[in-house]
Amino acid sequence: MACEFSGIVREAFKAKGHDAWSCDLLPTEIQGQHIQGDVLEILNDGWDLMIAHPPCTYLSVSGLHWNGRVPGRQAKTEAALHFVQLLLEAHIKHIALENPVSCISTRIRKPDQVVQPWWFGHDASKKTCLWLKKLPLLKETNRLPGDDKTRRGNQTPSGQNKLGPSPDRWKERSRTFPGIAQAMAEQWNFC
């Protein structure tokens, strides 16, 4: 699992019998097989599946308006897009790259699928795009009642995320929902 500090997806695959590893610049939150370092240094080490979670700070549509206001931010978006391109072009048979709605869709290619946590049993809304290589689309496993207009537990009445500003907000919002990780491990278990 590229760019995964949480260990959530890694552990879902491990539970299915895979020799699963995570790699991130940060230490792992769940003890297990984790490489703390730059994923680009191990990208060509013979992996058969990579699920990548590149940082969305400079990619997410919700933050792109800062590119014209903060000096140097546009260059960081370009660097982030280059990193995504390297991940998508890796010589790995099966690849899933996840990110929120972002400029990846307009600058590299549109996602193959967009999923929501509430399709997998979580009372939460968070559009998550998936760019896939030789992987099937994820099937819903536990869809909660409602639709995209239904306010979920993680939203304010206006639809914004309830998490207020904090130094760790990015970390809290970047973790994969366990139901999505479980679906990936169950449905992509052929690798």
Q: What is the pLDDT of residues 39-79, one digit of tens each?
A: 999 999 999 999 999 999 889 988 888 898 999 999 999 99
Token pair, residue 25, equals 């610049």
Residues 176 and 53 sit within 8 Å (Cβ to Cβ) = yes
Mean pLDDT of the region 144-149: 92
Residues paired with 170 in a beta bridge: none
Distance (Å) of CA 76 to CA 38, 64, 71, 72: 17, 11, 10, 7
Task: Give the global pTM.
Answer: 0.92
Predicted confidence at residue 175, as pLDDT, reads 86
Question: pLDDT category, 170, cuts 50, 70, 90?
Answer: low
Cβ contacts of 120 within 8 Å, gap of 6 or more: 140, 141, 142, 143, 177, 179, 180, 182, 183
- Asked if residue 138 has pLDDT above 90, the reply is yes
Residue 104 neighbours by CB distance under 10 Å? 25
Mean pLDDT of the chain: 92
- Asked if residue 165 has pLDDT above 90, the reply is no
Question: pLDDT category, 169, cuts 50, 70, 90?
Answer: low
In 3D space, the residue among 104, 112, 151 whose CA is nearest the CA of residue 135 turns out to be 112
Token pair, residue 61, equals 């549509």
In 3D space, the residue among 182, 84, 69 whose CA is nearest the CA of residue 133 turns out to be 84
- Asked if residue 164 has pLDDT above 90, the reply is no
Instruction: Of 47-51, 124-128, 151-155, give the lowest mean pLDDT range.
Output: 151-155
Predicted confidence at residue 156, as pLDDT, reads 64
Predicted confidence at residue 158, as pLDDT, reads 62
- Asked if residue 159 has pLDDT above 70, the reply is no
- Asked if residue 161 has pLDDT above 90, the reply is no
Q: What percent of the chain has pLDDT over 70?
A: 94
Over residues 70-114, the pLDDT tens digits come to: 999 999 999 999 999 999 999 999 999 999 999 999 999 999 999
